[in-house]
Amino acid sequence: MAVVTSSFPTSVAVFALITLHVGALDTFIAAVYEHAVILPNRTERPVSQHEALLLMNKNIDVLEGAVKQAADQGARIIVTPEDALYGWKFTRETVFPYLEYIPDPQVNWVPCKDPQRFGHTPVQARLSCLAKNNSIYILANIGDKKPCNSQDSTCPPNGYYQYNTNVVYNTEGQLVARYHKYHLYSEPQFDVPEKPELVTFNTPFGRFGIFTCFDILFHDPAVTLVKDFHVDTILFPSAWMNVLPLLTAVEFHSAWAMGMRVNLLVANIHHVSLNMTGSGIYAPNSPKVYHHDMETASGKILLSEVESHPRGSPDYPAAVNWSTYATAIKPFSVQKNTFKGFISRDGFNFTELFENAGNLTVCQKELCCHLSYRMLEKEENEVYVLGAFTGLHGRRRREYWQVCTMLKCKTANLTTCGRPVETASTRFAMFSLSGTFGTEYVFPEVLLTKIHLSPGKFEVLKDGRLINKNGSSEPILTVSLFGRWYSKDLLYSSCKTSNSAITYLRIFTLLMIVALQNIVII
Ligand SMILES: *[C@@H]1O[C@H](CO)[C@@H](O)[C@H](O)[C@H]1NC(C)=O
Ligand SMILES: *[C@@H]1O[C@H](CO)[C@@H](O)[C@H](O)[C@H]1NC(C)=O
Ligand SMILES: *[C@@H]1O[C@H](CO)[C@@H](O)[C@H](O)[C@H]1NC(C)=O
Ligand SMILES: *[C@@H]1O[C@H](CO)[C@@H](O)[C@H](O)[C@H]1NC(C)=O
Ligand SMILES: *[C@@H]1O[C@H](CO)[C@@H](O)[C@H](O)[C@H]1NC(C)=O
Ligand SMILES: *[C@@H]1O[C@H](CO)[C@@H](O)[C@H](O)[C@H]1NC(C)=O
Ligand SMILES: *[C@@H]1O[C@H](CO)[C@@H](O)[C@H](O)[C@H]1NC(C)=O
């Protein structure tokens, strides 16, 4: 079980792949568990290690039920969510009692058999025994603490780096992978590792890669694992808050699997009042099974058979050039009544789908989006628009997005286009969406009324057109091509809570910029 943390000679990788095919499986059953995490009570003061362990054990009791169920049904591997043992609302101090020292997997450790080897690590021992007893691979997300030298300028005041960490145990209970999350999303309790870690491990049912939640929106490690390390399946624990219209969990994650042409196993937290739901098992050509549930408060296990090596499968989708069609055609009559609207903070150029059928183009800077469509019938009170956005996204303006989207507006008032809307009744007899993308990383999204996916009812052609197939659609919320142009991202080193020097420098720079802007305005 190779764990790769840096560059890996290709010859070794090829050799490993060949040897693995001996006794390898063509398909396997995968499981993911959407967990309704039992949260700790809010507290300013750290709880005792004992209290922390009590809470984590309550959560593991629930996960244990899911693990046994998965194993009973023949699953080889189960993914559990990010933050599934203790939740997310912490300071560095209040999370500390929940952390354990997690060694590098190269030490060859079976915590179940040798629980004292690295000090007090009851959580790792229990997870390892769960994997061993049930003869199943388990991915869990826990917290790692790594002592550092307080003389070192980056070492935090308490003498520990603290990491949001995924661990994987094999069927013998051995620790085979450890990954420290790189792209933190408002997590002051954790540190950012020095560089993105590229963590893979091999099994008789394919090569696996790992990352966590917000990481999926960036190039490293996510894209590199697929492109350069040729993993077959990504394990993806998350605590994902849904954001319509473009970033709802099931919608975006299924699109990422399709755009990257890789299996993706997603286990999300279930917490309805924070809009956290949406787990699934996604193959390169279609979602296998997914779950989005804003009604009940309970967790849910999902199982599905997936290909061990999707690249070798006859129905592996062909590579797509996302701009071939869109750059080859003459733009459809560019609309005169283009108007500006917003999805979150991003300013889109929108144009309305006035007729029951038509050909439209809307552009923003270098990106032109083309849509051909025919509605089954135009519903009186439902308005759809075609939108284009290219630029740095959101409040932070660091990530470069290119988006073509056809979406239903919240109401017939055009000022509501781009706001979250969950139901629709307009069905389409046909649609074809394309754009003059400058990036090769585009994720095709189709989201139907009441947050449903549309497996088997759309496809992407090699020339970059996203089209319907197998007849008319169910009522549509959005059809989108979500592009990420990573090389245009603004480079930044994420906030390392420990590194006060950099933080101060950044705040200082920010104040200078604000000051300069004021001077310019004056
Ligand atoms: C939270 O506090 C309540 C009341 O004191 C207690 O009953 C409950 O067990 C606590 N929950 C946790 C997770 O500690
Ligand atoms: C694993 O099995 C052993 C022996 O059957 C048992 O003592 C132990 O409690 C089990 N542990 C877990 C985590 O299931
Ligand atoms: C959940 O999503 C809805 C609409 O999709 C939004 O109005 C609400 O503010 C979100 N809640 C949270 C806690 O973000
Ligand atoms: C995609 O197609 C466009 C237009 O046909 C071409 O200019 C571009 O080089 C192609 N991109 C790739 C990555 O092959
Ligand atoms: C859209 O364009 C296609 C091909 O160029 C044409 O056949 C079709 O009639 C057009 N549809 C409308 C409604 O203009
Ligand atoms: C939005 O569309 C209008 C009309 O096509 C165009 O003049 C304008 O430049 C576009 N906005 C941007 C930012 O490209
Ligand atoms: C549309 O909504 C805006 C504010 O959201 C409002 O000012 C305007 O009057 C509305 N227009 C119509 C026609 O209702």
- Ligand 4 pocket residue status of 439, Cβ below 6 Å: no
Ligand 3, atom 12: nearest CA belongs to which residue?
274
- Ligand 2 pocket residue status of 271, Cβ below 6 Å: no
- Ligand 1 pocket residue status of 55, Cβ below 6 Å: yes
Which atom of ligand 5 has the smallest separation from the CA of 357? Answer: 13
| Strand order across the 263-268 sheet | 200-203, 206-210, 233-238, 263-268, 279-282, 287-291
Q: Of 82, 187, 382, 399, which is the active-site residue? A: 82
From ligand 6's centre to the CA of 195, what distance in Å? 39
- Ligand 2 pocket residue status of 123, Cβ below 6 Å: no
Ligand 7, atom 11: nearest CA belongs to which residue?
413
Nearest ligand atom owner, CA of 330: 5
Ligand 5, atom 12: nearest CA belongs to which residue?
358
pLDDT for position 297: 96
SS3 397: coil
From ligand 4's centre to the CA of 463, what distance in Å? 9
195 is catalytic: no
Domain 4-312, second-level architecture? 4-Layer Sandwich (3.60)
From 251, 269, 275, the mutation candidate for ligand 3 (largest count of ligand atoms within 8 A of CB) is: 275
82 is catalytic: yes
Containing H/E element for 444? Answer: strand 442-448
pLDDT for position 485: 98
Residue with tokens 């061990």: 308
Local mean pLDDT, 10-residue blocks, the chain (522 residues) = 38 43 80 98 95 98 98 98 97 98 98 98 98 98 96 94 98 98 97 97 98 98 98 98 98 98 98 98 97 98 98 95 96 83 97 95 97 92 97 93 98 97 97 98 98 97 97 96 97 45 37 34 26
- Ligand 4 pocket residue status of 434, Cβ below 6 Å: no
Ligand 2, atom 9: nearest CA belongs to which residue?
129
Ligand 5, atom 2: nearest CA belongs to which residue?
359
From ligand 7's centre to the CA of 446, what distance in Å? 29
- For residue 209, the cross-strand partners are 200, 234
Locate the domains of the chain by residue range: 4-312, 324-488
From ligand 1's centre to the CA of 47, what distance in Å? 12
Contacts of 388 (CB under 8 A, 6+ apart): 348, 349, 362, 363, 364, 367, 368, 369, 403, 404, 435
Tell me how far CA of residue 189 lies from CA of 183, 236, 294, in angstroms: 13, 21, 28
pLDDT for position 20: 46
SS3 416: helix
From ligand 3's centre to the CA of 241, what distance in Å? 9
pTM of the model: 0.90
* Ligand 6 surroundings by CB, under 6 angstroms: 334, 338, 349, 363-365
Residue with tokens 């009441």: 450
pLDDT for position 334: 65
Ligand 4, atom 5: nearest CA belongs to which residue?
324
pLDDT for position 27: 97
pLDDT for position 230: 98
Q: Do 219 and 486 contact (CB within 8 A), yes or no?
A: yes
Q: Half-sphere exposure of 383 toward its Cβ, with a 13 Å CA cutoff?
A: 17
Nearest ligand atom owner, CA of 128: 2
From ligand 2's centre to the CA of 126, what distance in Å? 9
The two beta strands, 206-210 and 233-238, are: parallel
Report the alpha-carbon distance of residue 443 to residue 308 in Å, rounded.
Answer: 22
From ligand 2's centre to the CA of 140, what distance in Å? 18
- Ligand 1 pocket residue status of 87, Cβ below 6 Å: no
From 338, 340, 350, the mutation candidate for ligand 6 (largest count of ligand atoms within 8 A of CB) is: 338
DSSP string, 117-138: TTSS-HHHHHHHHHHHHHT-EE
Q: Do 136 and 78 contact (CB within 8 A), yes or no?
A: yes
Report the alpha-carbon distance of residue 396 to residue 406 in Å, rounded.
Answer: 25
Report the alpha-carbon distance of residue 257 to residue 254 in Å, rounded.
Answer: 5
pLDDT for position 24: 76
pLDDT for position 10: 38
Ligand 2, atom 14: nearest CA belongs to which residue?
130
- Ligand 7 pocket residue status of 412, Cβ below 6 Å: no
Q: Of 129, 155, 213, 404, which is the active-site residue? A: 213
Query: Over 39-87, what HEC string results?
Result: CCCCCCCCCCHHHHHHHHHHHHHHHHHHHHHHHHCCCCEEECCCCCCCC
From ligand 5's centre to the CA of 465, what distance in Å? 16
pLDDT for position 23: 56
pLDDT for position 378: 84
495 is catalytic: no
